[in-house]
Structure 1
């Protein structure tokens, strides 16, 4: 992503969060965490950015993808042990790799909530938005359209964040925008 695209995304983020969106993001966060926890996060990270939040969110998302692969491999190995044809093994492995896991939405919700909170922390902490680690991660891994989906979703019910980001299913390979 070019510097100009990053700067444009940072401006859009600052306008949304600064134009009352920050209060809505905070209200949504308070649906999931205690007020004391939210206040402590915002106060302690003032001016420090959101590097740790971005790293943990990325680890959750990457772990979710890895878990799909592990489950798919186990299913393929089980079918191989049962003497099933290779095409059945390949089909089952690929299917299981792409089918949403029962707890996948919750993992994605946690990761996307961390990213939205990180953007809020950077904005309220006076950090330069183009240096915001959560913003950078979103732009690098998801692209501008998904970044905008996350920001708009952060102003509504956070339970919808994974669906807005297409986190309900994992397809192999990088996403394109």
Structure 2
């Protein structure tokens, strides 16, 4: 993991991040807040692009339906910085989970783990529901995990 991370940050910063046991817990919470801020910023950027598209549609004489269509289309098309923003947020969360693991913390109390698990769970549940809408036999692609 550290080899992968040091492709993007210096080894010195990586080492400092894991120094002092007492601070690692606070660092996880800070990483979680920053990841959430990045993901919120991404949503805000999409909403801004949508609002600009709707405004332009209104300037060009588009009625409310055309404006709504322009807003939704522009807001939902992936933007060039999307992948980097998501990768940065997920990288922060994964690092926070690693900090908690190194600290010996209970992962159910690790904010980075909680945020990552909730997002991945939502994604998986959405895939299951979409599969169910198409064909219930497709649900076989989502086997239950053994307990």
Query: Which ranges of 4 or more aligned residues in structure 1 deviate by more than 3 Å?
Result: 44-48
- Verify the 8 A CA contact 1:47 1:122 in the aligned structure 2: no
Q: Per-residue deviation at 1:81? A: 1.5
Alignment of 1:48-67 (within 5 A): 48-49=24-25, 50-67=28-45
User: Does residue 115 of the first structure (1) align with residue 93 of the second (2)?
Assistant: yes
Structure number with higher helix proportion: 2
Give the aligned partner of residue 16 of structure 1. Answer: none
Of 93, 115, 118 in structure 2, the residue corresponding to residue 140 of structure 1 is 118
1:37 and 1:48 mapped to 2: Cα distance? 13
- Alpha carbon RMSD of aligned pairs, Å? 1.9
Bigger RCO of structures 1 and 2 (CA < 8 A, at least 6 apart): 1
Mark the structure with the bigger radius of gyration.
Answer: 2
TM-aligned CA distance change 1:130 to 1:43, over 3 Å = same
1:26 and 1:107 mapped to 2: Cα distance? 20
- Structure 1: which 5+ residue stretches go unaligned? 1-24, 147-177
Of 51, 58, 72 in structure 2, the residue corresponding to residue 80 of structure 1 is 58
Give the alignment's TM-score, normalised by structure 2.
0.75
Of 6, 9, 14 in structure 2, the residue corresponding to residue 38 of structure 1 is 14
TM-aligned CA distance change 1:66 to 1:107, over 3 Å = same
2:37 and 2:53 mapped to 1: Cα distance? 24
Give the aligned partner of residue 167 of structure 1. Answer: none
Give the alignment's TM-score, normalised by structure 1.
0.63
- Verify the 8 A CA contact 2:6 2:14 in the aligned structure 1: yes
- Verify the 8 A CA contact 1:46 1:122 in the aligned structure 2: no
User: Does residue 95 of the first structure (1) align with residue 73 of the second (2)?
Assistant: yes
